[in-house]
Amino acid sequence: MKYVAHIMMAIILTGTTYAQEYPLWPEGKTPYALSIDGETGSPLVTVYPSQRRDNHTGAAVVICPGGGYGGLAKDHEGHQPATWFQEQGVTAIVLQYRLGKEGHHYPTQLADVQRAIRWTRSQAEELKLDAKRVAVMGFSAGGHLASMAATLYDEAAYDPTDLVDKLSARPDFAILCYPVISMDWEVSHGGSRKNLFGPDRVDDDELAKKLSSNLNVTEDTPPTFLFQTNEDAAVPAENATLMFLSLREHGVPVEYHVYQNGPHGVGLYRGDPVLGTWSEHLAAWLKTNFFYSPEVDRLAVNGTADLDGHPVAWGVLTFHPENSNLPSTSVRIRRGKFSATEAAGPVVGNSRVTFEGSIWETTGADEDKAVRLSTLSPEDEKSIEVELGVGAQPISLEFRSR
């Protein structure tokens, strides 16, 4: 299972970032191999490990760059997001999958991404990974490949080659960035369809239905994050929207961000003060869904909250776990009371509590605007700490803003 654990083909050193390239398939056992492969290169995975970092989380992500199934945008849709994840303590694996312009068509690309996910799990011990926290990420056509990985993981895209292929190909999370989703000519990216299908099948409508990922969503499709721009003229926003609606219909946890401005193929785009925020939303979503840390139990909570001697008319309490890799949880306050079910409650353990709320609805006083507090009163220097565990009593909080 660790046949390539020590076969390093190349090392890239850039400051604190380093990466190692490995062959995706065992030598001589690459499915759908062509004679031209000697000239175009074999499929590879480039690993950006995080296990030596202080913030190592044990999570991993397989990244599929875009390029219309005819090329690979290795920098801004491969190397850059990989280093972004690595900085967060996540091991990133950039997949160099085979392309239509090289004569490789479906199911070759699906085979490559399934193998990459299995390969990542096979390296769990070597890279100190949690095999239950492996995500797949894709941009543009790579987003289509990632969406196929998330919806067609049970499809036998190739015959097993070794013990690695006994592992699951299902990703635990999917991250789809301005993705090609539908293969319907009306909304699809034509170049992606042509390169994926090949000249002999480009007009095959049955294949188009089979490879339209929005039609393949089930209740078991992994939680998904979608990012898109409305201005995208190359891959219309209808693609991501169709995927969102299908995920929602099947009850799959999903978050969808559509930005008004921005061309196709932006990558992280962190220099843009608006569009560049999408990766921050991604990080928050991943934390909410226990990507950065193994899942822990949540608890039902209830209690009361007063402000300046009055029940809080409207407000929110937020529980911030001591472990910063665990999700924060917000609970709404209405008429001085708050409650959350176990499914929606904060995680077990020590948490710091912050508050925002108002009593204006009760007092009608002009000075009673919404306030934010991280302590019980302005002069109190000690943060509000609570320990949440099974059998915890109702929480009673009395805030003072002046």
Residue 5: band (very low, low, confident or very high) from pLDDT cuts 50, 70, 90 = very low
End-to-end CA distance of the chain: 63
5-9, 44-48, 67-71, 283-287: segment of lowest average pLDDT: 5-9
DSSP single-letter state for residue 114:
H
User: Which residue, chain included where needed, has tokens 């894709």?
Assistant: 138
Q: Mention every residue, 6+ apart, whose C-beta is less than 8 A from residue 223.
A: 172, 173, 174, 252, 253, 254, 289
Name the segment(s) of the chain with CATH classification 3.40.50.1820. 11-288
Tell me the C-alpha distance between 337 and 339, whole Å.
7
144 φψ region: left (φ > 0), alpha (ψ -120 to 50), beta (else): alpha
Burial pattern 241-259, b for ≥16 Cβ within 10 A else e, equals bbbbebbeeeebebbbbbb
In this prediction, residue 17 carries a pLDDT of 65
Would the pLDDT of 12 be above 50? no
Q: How far is CA 115 from CA 130, 138, 172, 215, 387, in A?
A: 17, 15, 15, 23, 43
Q: HEC states along 41-89?
A: CCCEEEEECCCCCCCCCCCEEEEECCCCCCCCCCHHHHHHHHHHHHHCC
In this prediction, residue 11 carries a pLDDT of 45
In this prediction, residue 52 carries a pLDDT of 85
Tell me the C-alpha distance between 102 and 99, whole Å.
5
pLDDT tens, residue by residue, 324-349: 999 999 999 999 999 999 999 999 99
Name the segment(s) of the chain with CATH classification 2.60.40. 301-399
pLDDT tens, residue by residue, 240-295: 999 999 999 999 999 999 999 999 999 999 999 999 999 999 999 999 999 999 99
pLDDT tens, residue by residue, 140-194: 999 999 999 999 999 999 999 999 999 999 999 999 999 999 999 888 888 999 9
Token pair recorded at residue 334: 């209405």
CATH number of 11-288, picked from 3.40.50.1820, 3.30.70.270, 1.10.3720.10, 3.40.50.720: 3.40.50.1820
Tell me the C-alpha distance between 257 and 283, whole Å.
13
pLDDT tens, residue by residue, 302-313: 999 999 999 999
CATH topology of domain 301-399: Immunoglobulin-like (2.60.40)
Overall residue count recorded for the chain in this entry: 402
The answer to whether residues 164 and 1 touch, using CB atoms and an 8 Å cutoff, is: yes
Tell me the C-alpha distance between 299 and 150, whole Å.
30
